[in-house]
């Protein structure tokens, strides 16, 4: 049996590309020839985009047929007006190079207009006689009306998805005329536009109107295959395949999978029905080993093959799983930190369209060379060949949905958004590299956040869903669902706290800017997200600090992915690792690559740890549907479950918080120490879970030891098996907590599955509240200094009995329950009641409470055991991993992974304080 030859026609130029560029308009008079305009910046590929070389590669790598005809190249172009009759048989005044958007220099037009006409002629090869002819468009932005020989063959709305029309009945047997009318209001309309703007500035860029992906013809039989939906089932060692078709009348499907020339599995079935193709002992796809199987799919009438396509697929699984007590995204069951960049897919010469396939591959290859394993494709959807390269080279992809420019979108705009959202999912659902759908970003055009995320998850449950990237930014409203809690922090880094249902990711950070003379879109006008750097060495040093900061966040609070802004400069944004023309890498390549590889390697080590975080406080959350607001707590020494909320009492929050320690009877398992009764542990006695003080007996230690097992309900959570009652698990029933023998029922498996949640009592150290205190520096040589405020900023200063009354009052604070979280603390000024210490741009200052949620969060700090081994450290509530620290007499919130006030030197001591008697009682 012959294997499909994917590598033959996916690598370089396309198979059977027929010459179409001579005599395109032979039935008409002369018109202006295509002439490229001069872009503000050229790339090494600009001059290669010509009528004879306009993206000649096969455009649909996951569904290949041998016969096709490329219609890229020189077309006629002209202005259009609303309601205008198509210019049938008429010369248009200009020429354009398809498929480059009209605003691009390569197109030869280099201007924006809302309405336009495209025109060209073609002939159908005689060898296609007797077959249907399909006219394909990779993408047209935004509304296209397509005419063949004066007949309207179809219309399409949507600037980012492919569409096709069967034009057989419109063909004339000789020279055929195509006219395409396009309407694109860009951000003046309500449709998804991404970052395109009619008046680009700042973080918004040039529009990309008209035909911007390959146009091509393809012959098909009357009954034909139109789409392949492929989902790997790693656990089941199979590929799930659904074949879509047209003109189907009882035909069957045969699918055969290959590893090189060796057949690995085959199956038959029907169109629109799921077919399972065995893939025994599958070679798993990953960034480290992006192995692709080949696939041949045949549509058969009896034993006769009536249509056949070739494809490829990767075997990999995507999900969430507890890793060292933190919910994290896993690939093939293993956690690896997803480290990538924001890739906006803009080009100085082609705008939305890369000038060549080699250029398209370049950005992906450079991600790989730099040690990244992730690309976030930012509010743009690329051609299918882009996904071919991420599949083949091995880069994970987060795919954003292009957003609407409008706030408060209309009913019609919402409907269009959801149509285009579904098209994006369906078109790219078979790509193994694509692992996450990002539905909305920073609140742009936001609506129905939770519903949309659930909608996407329903369409494609095999991938993760991010309901909103940047839930902490720009007025975004978090839908609260999806698989990821996603922050944007510039320059950062920072991290949300992972929950029992969502992993923590940093969807954008960085934005370090540097202009490179001779490589700017608008010389002298480039900006970054902060001060611009002037040397490669200083930029590299700061970038490495950001990488080190992420290493800390990996452990606390449990960051799982990050996206640096960005891979290249874009127009006047000079945040890129590369310049906009891809000519200059701005930093020390080897140092940057090494930092990336070190971070990813460190993350993989977490897979060798147990699923629970030893030494950390956590809560045990019920996962049984309908009861997920309940948590294990102890009351009167008995284990129960109870509803716990942010407004619950201090006692309840502490009762529902436990310190996870190495198992008292087996260090490979776990024990749960009470937060508010240190030395007491959860243990079973007569099968009931209770809290008792450790008595030193071997029996107690065994009763209090539980071994983590894969969740009995099959989720990414955990089940807890008794150490000395094998086969019995901690489960809840009727509000009580027991250890019961396994029952093979859905109810038992749910009741015995627990989510390891963030602790309800978030402070790990106890400090007195509602009394005045002073906070003494513990750093050797500076212990005569104390925390104080002056001119509304926090400093440290020497205070003694002879100090002024003002200084003593400035150095005295009332520690009160945290304004944003009662298990943490806020510092109220002694001499300015109603004013609190809070952080702003990392500096600690004294401000009056303004009633905003942001202020309360900025003014809340969780007490933790002192980082230096004694005393207490105060961790930012809304920026976990950052602590109040003094540096050069100033007070900041810092992580110890930066420079100057955020440097590692002396960090632990500088972030540790002694709580002492108040200087001003």
CATH topology of domain 772-916: Trefoil (Acidic Fibroblast Growth Factor, subunit A) (2.80.10)
Q: Which of 316, 292, 342 is nearest to 435 (CA)?
A: 316
Count of C-beta atoms within a 10 Å radius of residue 698:
10
CATH topology of domain 6-220: Jelly Rolls (2.60.120)
Instruction: Specify the 3-state DSSP secondary structure of 484.
Output: strand
**Calpha distance 370→365 (Å, rounded):** 9
CA distances from 642 to 36, 633, 653, 678, 737 (A): 70, 7, 10, 21, 11
CATH topology of domain 224-313: Immunoglobulin-like (2.60.40)
Instruction: Specify the 3-state DSSP secondary structure of 576.
Output: coil
Q: Outline which parts of the chain fall under CATH 2.60.40.10.
A: 224-313
Count of C-beta atoms within a 10 Å radius of residue 157:
15
**Calpha distance 644→153 (Å, rounded):** 60
115 token code pair: 């309405």
Over its C-alpha atoms, the chain yields an Rg (Å, rounded) of 31
CB neighbours of 663 closer than 8 A, spacing ≥ 6? 669, 670, 671, 704, 705, 706, 707, 723
CATH architecture classification, 617-757: Trefoil (2.80)
**Calpha distance 809→17 (Å, rounded):** 82
Residue with tokens 């994006």: 424
Q: Outline which parts of the chain fall under CATH 2.80.10.50.
A: 617-757, 772-916
Q: DSSP string spanning 871-919? A: SEEEEESSSTT-EEEEETTEEEEE-SSSSGGG-STTHHHHT-EEEE--S
Residue 610's pLDDT is 78
Instruction: Specify the 3-state DSSP secondary structure of 154.
Output: strand
Q: Which of 293, 318, 120 is nearest to 215 (CA)?
A: 120
Tell me the pairing of strands 115-122 and 163-166: unpaired
What crossing angle do the helices spanning 536-555 and 589-605 adopt, rounded to 10°? 0
Residue 30's pLDDT is 59
**Calpha distance 900→909 (Å, rounded):** 15
CATH no. of 336-608? 3.20.20.80
Q: Which of 400, 546, 632 is nearest to 895 (CA)?
A: 546
CA distances from 73 to 42, 98, 121, 199, 882 (A): 20, 5, 12, 29, 56
pTM confidence score: 0.86
Q: Which of 574, 765, 749 is nearest to 675 (CA)?
A: 765
Instruction: Give me the sign of the Cα torsion angle 795, 801, 807, 808.
Output: positive
Q: Which residues pair with 338 in a beta bridge?
A: 561
Q: DSSP string spanning 633-670? A: EEETTEEEEEE--TTS-HHHHHHT-EEEEE-SS-TTSE
Q: Outline which parts of the chain fall under CATH 3.20.20.80.
A: 336-608
CA distances from 825 to 530, 659, 698, 794, 822 (A): 31, 20, 39, 17, 7
Instruction: Specify the 3-state DSSP secondary structure of 774.
Output: strand
**Calpha distance 676→657 (Å, rounded):** 8
Question: Element (H or E) spanning 177, and its range?
Answer: strand 176-183
Estimate to the nearest angstrom the gap between the alpha carbon of 417 and the chain centroid.
20
Residue 212 class from Cβ within 10 Å (0-12 exposed, 13-18 middle, 19+ buried)?
buried
Q: What's the average pLDDT block by block, 10 residues per block, for the chain (921 residues)?
A: 38 37 44 92 98 97 97 98 96 97 98 98 96 98 98 98 98 97 95 95 96 98 98 97 96 97 97 97 98 98 96 98 92 97 98 98 98 98 98 98 89 96 98 98 94 97 97 93 96 90 96 97 94 96 93 91 98 97 98 96 89 90 96 97 94 96 95 96 97 97 95 90 96 97 95 93 92 96 97 97 97 97 96 96 95 95 94 93 95 86 89 97 91
Residue 714's pLDDT is 85
Q: Which of 863, 809, 860 is nearest to 833 (CA)?
A: 809
**Calpha distance 830→811 (Å, rounded):** 8
Residue 881's pLDDT is 86
Four-point Cα dihedral 86, 91, 94, 98, nearest 10: 70
């Amino acid at each position: 049996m012959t294997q499909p030859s994917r590598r033959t026609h996916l690598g370089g130029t396309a198979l059977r590309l027929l010459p179409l560029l001579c005599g395109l308009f032979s039935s008409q008079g002369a018109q202006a020839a295509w002439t490229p305009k001069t872009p503000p910046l050229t790339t090494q590929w600009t001059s290669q985009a010509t009528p004879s070389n306009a993206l000649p590669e096969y455009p649909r790598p996951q569904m290949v047929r041998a016969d096709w005809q490329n219609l890229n190249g020189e077309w006629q172009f002209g202005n259009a007006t609303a309601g205008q009759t198509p210019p049938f048989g008429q010369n248009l005044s200009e020429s354009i190079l398809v498929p480059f958007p009209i605003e691009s220099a390569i197109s030869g037009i280099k201007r924006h207009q809302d309405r336009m006409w495209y025109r060209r002629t073609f002939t159908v090869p005689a060898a296609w006689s007797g077959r249907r002819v399909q006219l394909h468009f990779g993408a047209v932005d935004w509304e296209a009306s397509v005419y063949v020989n004066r007949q309207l063959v179809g219309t399409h709305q949507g600037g980012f998805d492919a569409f096709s029309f069967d034009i057989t009945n419109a063909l004339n047997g000789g020279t055929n005329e195509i006219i395409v009318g396009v309407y694109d209001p860009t951000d003046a309309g309500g449709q998804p536009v991404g970052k395109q703007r009619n008046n680009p500035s700042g973080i918004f860029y040039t529009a990309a109107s008209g035909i911007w992906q390959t146009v091509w013809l393809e012959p098909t039989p009357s009954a034909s295959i139109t789409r392949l939906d492929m989902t790997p089932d790693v656990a089941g060692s199979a590929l799930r395949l659904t074949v879509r078709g047209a003109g189907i009348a009882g035909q069957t499907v045969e699918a055969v999978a290959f590893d090189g020339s060796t057949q690995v599995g085959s199956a038959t079935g029907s169109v629109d029905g799921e077919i399972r193709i065995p893939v025994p002992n599958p070679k798993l796809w990953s960034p480290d080993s992006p192995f692709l199987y080949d696939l041949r799919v045949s549509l058969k009438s009896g034993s006769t093959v009536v249509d056949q396509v070739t494809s490829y697929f990767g075997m990999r699984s995507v999900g969430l799983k507890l890793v060292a007590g933190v919910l994290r995204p896993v690939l093939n069951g293993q956690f690896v930190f997803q480290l990538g960049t924001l890739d906006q897919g803009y080009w100085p010469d082609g705008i939305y369209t890369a000038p060549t396939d080699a250029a398209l591959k370049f950005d992906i290859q450079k991600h790989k060379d730099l040690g990244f394993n992730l690309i976030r494709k930012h509010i743009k959807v690329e051609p299918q060949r882009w996904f071919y390269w991420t599949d083949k080279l091995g880069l994970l992809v987060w795919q954003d949905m292009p957003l609407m420019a409008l706030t408060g979108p209309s009913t019609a705009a919402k409907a269009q958004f959801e149509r285009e959202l579904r098209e994006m999912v369906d078109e790219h659902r078979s790509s193994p590299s694509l692992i996450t759908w990002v539905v909305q970003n920073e609140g742009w055009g936001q609506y129905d956040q939770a519903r949309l995320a659930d909608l996407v998850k329903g369409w494609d449950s095999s991938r993760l869903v991010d309901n909103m990237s940047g839930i902490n930014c720009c007025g975004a409203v978090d839908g609260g669902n999806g698989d990821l809690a996603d922050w944007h922090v510039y320059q950062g880094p920072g991290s949300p706290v992972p929950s029992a249902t969502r992993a923590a990711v940093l969807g954008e950070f960085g934005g370090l800017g540097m202009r490179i003379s001779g490589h700017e879109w608008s010389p002298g006008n480039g900006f970054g997200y902060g001060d611009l750097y002037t040397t490669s060495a200083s930029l590299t040093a700061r970038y490495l600090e950001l990488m080190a900061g992420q290493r800390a966040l990996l452990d606390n609070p449990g960051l799982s992915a990050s996206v640096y802004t960005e891979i290249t400069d874009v127009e006047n944004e000079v945040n890129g690792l590369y310049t906009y023309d891809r000519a200059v890498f701005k930093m020390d390549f080897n140092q940057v690559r090494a930092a990336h590889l070190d971070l990813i390697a460190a993350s993989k080590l977490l897979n060798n740890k147990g699923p629970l975080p030893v030494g950390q406080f956590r809560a045990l959350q019920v996962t049984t549907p309908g009861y997920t607001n309940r948590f294990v707590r102890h009351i009167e020494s008995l284990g129960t479950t109870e509803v716990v909320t942010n407004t619950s009492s201090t006692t309840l929050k502490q009762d529902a918080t436990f310190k996870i320690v190495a198992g008292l009877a087996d260090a490979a398992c776990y024990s749960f120490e009470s937060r508010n009764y240190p030395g007491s542990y959860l243990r079973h006695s007569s099968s009931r879970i209770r809290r008792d003080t450790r008595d030193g007996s071997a029996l107690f230690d065994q009763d209090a030891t539980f071994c983590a097992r894969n969740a009995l309900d099959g989720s990414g959570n955990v089940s807890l098996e008794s150490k000395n009652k094998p086969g019995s698990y901690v489960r809840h029933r009727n509000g009580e907590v027991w250890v019961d023998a396994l029952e093979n029922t859905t109810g038992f498996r749910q009741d015995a599955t627990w989510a390891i949640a963030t602790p309800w009592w978030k402070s790990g150290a106890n400090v007195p509240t509602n009394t005045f205190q002073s906070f003494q520096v513990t750093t050797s040589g500076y212990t005569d200094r104390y925390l104080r405020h002056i001119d509304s900023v926090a400093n440290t200063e020497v205070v003694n009995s002879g100090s002024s009354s003002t200084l003593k009052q400035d150095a005295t604070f009332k520690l009160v329950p945290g304004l944003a979280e009662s298990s943490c603390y806020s510092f109220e000024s002694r001499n300015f009641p109603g004013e609190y210490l809070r952080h702003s741009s990392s500096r600690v200052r004294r401000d009056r409470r303004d009633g905003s949620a942001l202020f309360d969060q900025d003014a809340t700090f969780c007490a933790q055991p002192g980082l230096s081994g004694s005393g207490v450290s105060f961790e930012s509530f809304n920026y976990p991993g950052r602590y109040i620290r003094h540096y050069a007499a100033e007070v900041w919130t810092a992580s110890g992974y930066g420079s100057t006030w955020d440097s590692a030197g002396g960090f632990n001591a500088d972030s540790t304080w002694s709580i002492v008697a108040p200087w001003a009682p």
